[in-house]
Amino acid sequence: MRVLVTGGAGYIGSHTVVQLVAAGHEPVVVDSHVNSRPSVLPRLEELTGTRIESHGFDLRDADATSALLGEGGFDAVIHFAGLKAVGESGRSPLEYYDNNLGTTFALLRAMGRHGVGTLVFSSSATVYGEQAPVPYREGHEPLVSSSPYGRSKVMQEQILRDVAATGAVRVALLRYFNPVGAHPSGRIGEDPQGIPNNLMPFIAQVAVGRRERLQVFGGDYPTADGTAERDYIHVEDLAAGHVAALDHLRDHPEIRVREWNLGGGRGTSVLEMVAAFEAASGRPIPYDVVDRRAGDLPAFWADASRAEVELGWRATRTIEQMCADTWRWQSANPQGYPA
C-alpha cells in the first residue's frame, strides 16, 4: 500500500515509516516540522535503504493537502500529525484545537475528494478520562479528558466516527498508552524540544548529563512504592500495531470504525522505571520526590486483549529493552537530531 504518513518525521511516525517499508508498504511523509527536524529523513532512508518521499507543509493548508492526495495512488493515511503537550494545551487551547482539528478536517476533505478511504488515527489513553475503571477497555463511555489536548482527541474520534458512518472513510482509532524507547539502531528516537514533559525523555537526559535531577511527581499514591504507575509501550511495538491495523482494515472491508488499545497491559511505577534505566545505562539517576503533578492519575493500564484477538498484535518488548534502546539513542545523540 502507498500510505501517506502525516507527522511522519515525528517520534512515533518515524518509527512507523521504517516498519511500513519493512512490511512492503510505501510510506510518503508529510510534516510541517513544527515539532521535528528534517534531519530525521536521511536517517529513515539510511535505515530502510530506500528513498522516502517527503513533503514539508502544514496540513491545514487545504490546497496543498488536496494537491498531494490528488497526485493519486494513495491507499491509506496514517494520521500522526498534531500537537501533544498536555500542559501547553492548557495555556494555548486555541492553537491545539486549531491544529489538531484543522489537520483532520483538511485531510478528511482531501481524502473524500480523491477517493482515499482508509485512515489510521493516533488517539490516546487520555480519552478514558479520570473515572474509567482500570484496566481501560475500548467499550468504555463516555469519553472525556481533562485537558484541551485530550479533548481534541475525544473530538477527533467523534468527528471520525461521524464521517465513517457516512461510508466516506474507514477508520482505525488507536489509543496509545505511554510510548517510550527507540529504534534498536540508536539512529532515531524521541527528541523533545525544550524541557521534556514526559518521564522517559527526562530520565534519559539526566543520565546523559543534560539535566541534573529528576523530580518524581508524588510519592504518596496508593501503589506498591507510592509512585504512579503507567503502561509503557515500546515505540517499536506501537509502530507494529499501526501496520497490523492497516492490514486488518484492508482485509476486513466490513469495518467502518473500530477502536484498539495499544498498550502492554501492565503498570510500571516511576521508581521501577528509574531503577531499570540505571541498570540499562550504568548511570545514576538522582531524583527528589516532590508534590504530585496536577491532573495525574495514580495508576492505569490497558486491557490490550482486543488488539491481540482481532489484530494478532501484542506488545512484546520489555521495560529493560525500552530503557536499553532509549539509552542507545540518547547516548549516541545527546542533543537529539542535528538542526
Catalytic residue numbers read: 149
Asked if 270 is part of the footprint of ligand UD1 (rule: CB under 6 A), the reply reads yes
Contacted entry of ligand UD1, ligand NAD, none for residue 99, CB cut-off 5 to 8 Å set by kind: ligand NAD
Please select the residue that binds ligand NAD; options are 54, 103, 145, 223, rule is CB under 6 A: 103
Place of cell 539502531: 185
Asked if 15 is part of the footprint of ligand UD1 (rule: CB under 6 A), the reply reads no
Asked if 124 is part of the footprint of ligand UD1 (rule: CB under 6 A), the reply reads yes
| Pairing status of strand 170-176 against strand 2-6 | unpaired
Cα separation, 302 vs 136, in Å, equals: 5
Cα separation, 260 vs 226, in Å, equals: 30
Place of cell 475503571: 133
Residues 185-204 that bind ligand UD1 (CB under 6 A): 197-199, 202
Contacted entry of ligand NAD, ligand UD1, none for residue 217, CB cut-off 5 to 8 Å set by kind: ligand UD1
Tell me which H or E stretch contains 273. helix 270-281
Asked if 93 is part of the footprint of ligand UD1 (rule: CB under 6 A), the reply reads no
Min separation Cβ 198 and ligand UD1, Å:
3
Asked if 82 is part of the footprint of ligand NAD (rule: CB under 6 A), the reply reads yes
CB 189, CB 198: distance < 8 Å: no
Asked if 290 is part of the footprint of ligand NAD (rule: CB under 6 A), the reply reads no
Residues 146-205 that bind ligand NAD (CB under 6 A): 176, 179
Q: What angle do CA 162, 90, 271 make, to 5 degrees?
A: 100
Asked if 81 is part of the footprint of ligand NAD (rule: CB under 6 A), the reply reads yes
DSSP state of 136: B
Asked if 102 is part of the footprint of ligand UD1 (rule: CB under 6 A), the reply reads no
CB 11, CB 191: distance < 8 Å: yes
Asked if 95 is part of the footprint of ligand UD1 (rule: CB under 6 A), the reply reads no
Q: How far is CA 251 from CA 16, 201, 237, in A?
A: 20, 37, 21
Q: In whole angstroms, what separates CA 10 from the centre of its chain?
A: 9
List residues binding ligand UD1 (CB under 6 A).
86, 124, 126, 150, 178, 197-199, 202, 214-217, 228, 230, 270, 293, 295-296
